[in-house]
């Protein structure tokens, strides 16, 4: 009788545990898609010797277009990507502000800054040439391409892009959200790469704080916004070198 009682209790325990897993499985947060190596986008089907022959042709002061790219199929809670192929374009701004665009516009030898609109873009994106064609439609001289890559880690276990995080049932362990923002500056006419910049920000919390989608999303947006701001600072350093090296010869 006691043995049967233990079996009943054990069976009931497993049923409760299974029910808990089912319920908790419904409450999840999907991590965003991955970023892309923006520098490699110009190397598709290109010979290295041909890349070395490219020279800048942009006049100064220059008009600059800017666009955010992500890995094909990118998804986040607030954003989805436009286009397919080697990468896609995020046309909704959630970490960039008008002040950021004004900040770029105030740089020396910058005449204007214009974000690329999806109506100018091909739906099949293969390389930066597709982006440069859209930038040329806007009559811009330079193209700033940037990407955001955010990774979630609990202790030493990384939760990859488009992974699922169960909410409210994480152990009390250290959790990290790391965002790397990278950018490259291209000549719209020739595809010449003026340079690249990169910045990384890490936010550390206890995983138990990840009890809701809003809580995790807040951390993601915070690290991505901080990484983007840090990237702008690195780009300003890059731009100073571009002006010193190339603008003087265009006057």
For every residue of the chain, DSSP letters joined together read -HHHHHHHHHHHHHHHHHHHHHHHHHSEEEPPPP---GGGGGGTT--HHHHHH------SSEEEEEEEEEETT-B-SS-BEE-EESEEEE-S-SS--HHHHHHHHTSTTEEEEEEPPGGGS-SEE-SHHHHHHHHHHTT-SEEEEEEEEEEEEETTEEE-TT-EEESS---S-EEEEEEEEEEEEEETTT--EEEEEEEEEEEEEEGGG--SHHHHHHHHHHHHHHHHHHHHHHHHHHHHHHIIIIIHHH-
Specify the pLDDT at position 59: 95
Q: Is pLDDT at 198 greater than 90 in this prediction?
A: yes
Q: What is the pLDDT of residues 73-83, one digit of tens each?
A: 888 877 778 99
Pairing assessment for the beta strands 174-187 and 193-206 based on DSSP bridges: antiparallel
At residue 207's C-alpha, the angle toward residues 220 and 26, to 5°, is 80
Specify the pLDDT at position 17: 35
Specify the pLDDT at position 172: 65
Q: What is the pLDDT of residues 83-92, one digit of tens each?
A: 988 899 998 8
Specify the pLDDT at position 13: 42
Q: Is pLDDT at 16 greater than 50 in this prediction?
A: no
Residue 107 CB-half CA count within 13 A: 28
Query: d(Cα 119, Cα 142) in Å, to the nearest integer?
Result: 19
**Do residues 117 and 82 touch, judged by C-beta distance below 8 A?**
no
pTM beyond 0.75, yes or no: yes
Q: Is pLDDT at 56 greater than 70 in this prediction?
A: yes
Query: d(Cα 233, Cα 162) in Å, to the nearest integer?
Result: 29
For every residue of 32-90, DSSP letters joined together read PPP---GGGGGGTT--HHHHHH------SSEEEEEEEEEETT-B-SS-BEE-EESEEEE
Average pLDDT estimate for 139-155: 92
Residue 52: pLDDT band (50, 70, 90) is: confident
More confident residue, 67 or 168: 67
Residue 233: pLDDT band (50, 70, 90) is: very high
- Preceding omega of 61 cis (within 30 degrees of 0): yes
Query: d(Cα 125, Cα 35) in Å, to the nearest integer?
Result: 15
> What contacts 117, CB < 8 A, 6 or more positions away?
91
More confident residue, 64 or 22: 64
Specify the pLDDT at position 34: 65
**Percentage with pLDDT > 90 across the chain:** 48
Average pLDDT estimate for 212-241: 92
More confident residue, 93 or 188: 188
Q: What is the pLDDT of residues 18-34, one digit of tens each?
A: 333 333 444 655 666 66
């Amino acid at each position: 009788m006691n043995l049967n009682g233990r079996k009943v209790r054990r069976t009931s325990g497993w049923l409760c545990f299974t029910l808990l897993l089912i319920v908790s499985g419904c409450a999840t947060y999907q991590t965003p898609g991955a970023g892309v190596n923006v520098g490699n986008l110009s190397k598709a089907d290109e010979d290295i010797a041909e890349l070395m022959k490219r020279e800048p042709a942009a006049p100064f002061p220059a008009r600059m277009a800017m666009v955010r790219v992500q890995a094909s199929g990118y998804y986040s809670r607030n954003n989805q990507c436009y286009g397919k192929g080697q990468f896609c374009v995020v046309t909704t701004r959630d970490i960039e502000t008008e002040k950021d665009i004004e900040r770029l516009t105030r740089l020396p030898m910058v005449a204007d800054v214009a974000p690329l609109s999806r109506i100018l873009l091909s739906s099949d994106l293969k390389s930066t040439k597709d982006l440069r064609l859209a930038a040329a439609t806007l009559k811009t001289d330079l193209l700033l391409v940037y990407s955001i890559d955010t990774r979630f880690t609990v202790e030493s276990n990384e939760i990859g892009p488009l992974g699922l995080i169960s909410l409210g049932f994480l152990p009390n362990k250290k959790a990290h959200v790391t965002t790397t923002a990278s950018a490259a500056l291209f000549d719209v006419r020739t595809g010449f790469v003026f340079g690249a910049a990169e910045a990384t920000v890490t936010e550390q919390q206890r995983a138990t704080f990840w009890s809701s989608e809003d809580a995790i999303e807040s951390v993601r947006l915070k690290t991505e916004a901080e990484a983007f701001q840090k990237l702008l600072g690195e780009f300003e350093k890059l731009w100073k070198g571009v002006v010193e090296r190339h603008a003087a010869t265009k006057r």
